Structure 1
Amino acid sequence: MRVTRIGGPTALVEWDGWRILTDPTFDPPGRTYSFALGTTSRKTTGPALSLDDVGDVDVVLLSHHHHADNLDDAGRAGLARATTVLTTVAGAKATSHPDVRGLAAGAQTTLSAEGKRTITVEATPCRHGAPLTGPIVGPVVGFALTIEGQARPGLWMTGDTVLYGGLRRAAAALRPDVALVHIGAVKFPLTGPLSYTMDAADAVELIDLAEPGVAVPVHVEGWSHFSEQEEAAARVFEAAPVEVRNRVRWAPLGVPVDLG
């Protein structure tokens, strides 16, 4: 598997002939975007690769459609380059694409293409904030992908989520080969200490539970509402227990990394 981190939550995964793009964000930096309840965030870093650099893909894994740090304007236009888009049920209703599929946590779908092994995709649970914030922050899912002939997922994308019971239970059952772990500790001045995604300490616990072969941190730079960005997160992982620390692999922006 080869992973190229593009920026924010966006990564290109090349796996057994499949080309998989996660949460497409390709707008240039400098713009401020509106979020729920009057909150805002500024995009501070542009993508390491352009849509033209990425080219056509087999599938987009879109954890949610309604926040610009996971799907911005250029990313939305880029969905046309994908054969299939997988997202939430609400996201499927709001997305124009000939093969967009909406999944709730626990639901499955299959991806098939001539000459490639079939992939089974299961949506995994996310909660994008504190309890009872669901109506404000909206639905989010992660994705666990298991390729034909394997018993365990080869890839797990956590999606934007805090660490909570449902996620802990799902993680403990996965044991993926590769996990793309969304962190960043999203916070807004308006809502004070409330976090809307995991910080690195949460990710340490999650990685310990899921025991991935490799964990690649994403969603950790490039936006002003990420309160814990890459350098700070790296210090936390460096101080983690060795069994977690040895699983973490930083992917430099724009550089393809072979993960075996």
Structure 2
Amino acid sequence: MAASEQFSVRVFGGPTALIEYGGLRFLTDPTFDEPGHYEGPDGRPGLTKTAPPSAKPADLGRVDAVLLSHDEHPDNLDHSGRALLADVPLTLTTPSGAGRLGGTAKGLETWEAVDLPRPDGAVVTVTAAPALHGPEGAEKATGEVVGFVLTARDLPTVYVSGDNASLDAVRQVADRFGPVDATVLFAGAPRLKPVFDGALLVLDSALAVEATKILGARTVFPVHIDSWGHFTESRDDVVAAFTAAGLADRLRFG
């Protein structure tokens, strides 16, 4: 089977996408709730979901593993997403997240890798990549976050950024794995005014362009660009930024 037939991405809204890779099916940050408001913990700002997903968990079919950037925010793991984890054989996430979730969750330290068997007898390697959810020093407030790199002997290298705002983290991925063939890149320029004085919590469109250049990525699947009130940029902003940079032909919206 050709590599193009072994890799595809379907996007459902927010950060949620189904990646088919080497006969395995990976789901990123599952968010399948209907629109609504989520109260923040300890008086912190809440988050509002503004649009429904384009599919329901029952429509997904088999999911072999969830790639969960972090479990602490509802725009990355909502009520429906948490319920879905019970039916998935493996959830890869942060070490602290795995401790909170229990069940089939496995925490990965940065650059730690796991090999998952493919139906054809080969393996897919999933490697944990660095990520920073906000400006420098944000970890104490926003918690641990992880990205992922998917590799296989006969397939494109795919980087899933997770909720990352740091180009330095992207450079580290490029140094180890670049050029990266494709990336599922979280963007949307989310901001919460009381948090870090409104600093970016994830990449904006201009930084997504820079990340693409750093990675040398030929194909970019933008996610995390719709369906939530605190996202300050949309698909149109992503298209405009990539068009201005002469990279619009690399965009795919699944």
TM-score (normalised: structure 2): 0.90
Identity %: 35
Equivalent position to 1:214, from 212, 215, 219: 219
Q: Is the 8 A contact 1:17 1:116 kept in 2?
A: no
Q: Is the 8 A contact 1:18 1:116 kept in 2?
A: no
Q: Could you tell me which runs of 5 or more consecutive residues in structure 1 were left unpaired when the two chains were aligned.
A: 252-260
Q: Is the 8 A contact 2:37 2:46 kept in 1?
A: no
Kindly indicate whether structure 1 or structure 2 has the higher relative contact order, using CA contacts under 8 Å at least 6 residues apart: 1
The 2-side partners of 1:13 and 1:35 are apart by 32
Secondary structure (helix, strand or coil) at the match of 1:57 reads coil
Query: Are residues 75 and 234 of structure 1, via their aligned partners in 2, closer, same or farther at CA, if it must alter by over 3 Å?
Result: same
Equivalent position to 2:143, from 138, 141, 154: 138
Equivalent position to 1:157, from 155, 160, 165: 160
- Which residue identity does 2:249 align to in structure 1? N
The 2-side partners of 1:23 and 1:221 are apart by 14
Secondary structure (helix, strand or coil) at the match of 1:31 reads strand
Secondary structure (helix, strand or coil) at the match of 2:89 reads strand
Equivalent position to 2:50, from 44, 48, 54: 44
Q: How far did 1:27 drift? A: 0.7
Q: Is the 8 A contact 1:185 1:195 kept in 2?
A: yes
Q: How does 1:247-258 map to 2 (within 5 A)?
A: 247-251=250-254
**Is 1:230 aligned to 2:220, yes or no?**
no
The 2-side partners of 1:200 and 1:72 are apart by 25
TM-score (normalised: structure 1): 0.88
- Which residue identity does 1:46 align to in structure 2? P
Equivalent position to 2:22, from 9, 16, 19: 16
The runs of at least 4 aligned residues of structure 1 exceeding 3 Å deviation read: 113-116
**Is 1:166 aligned to 2:177, yes or no?**
no
Residues 18-44 of structure 1 deviation map (CA, whole Å, 9 limit, x = unaligned): 111111001111223426861221000
Give the number of equivalent residue pairs.
Answer: 246
Q: How far did 1:65 drift? A: 0.7
Query: Are residues 239 and 36 of structure 1, via their aligned partners in 2, closer, same or farther at CA, if it must alter by over 3 Å?
Result: farther
Query: Are residues 5 and 166 of structure 1, via their aligned partners in 2, closer, same or farther at CA, if it must alter by over 3 Å?
Result: closer
**Is 1:184 aligned to 2:157, yes or no?**
no
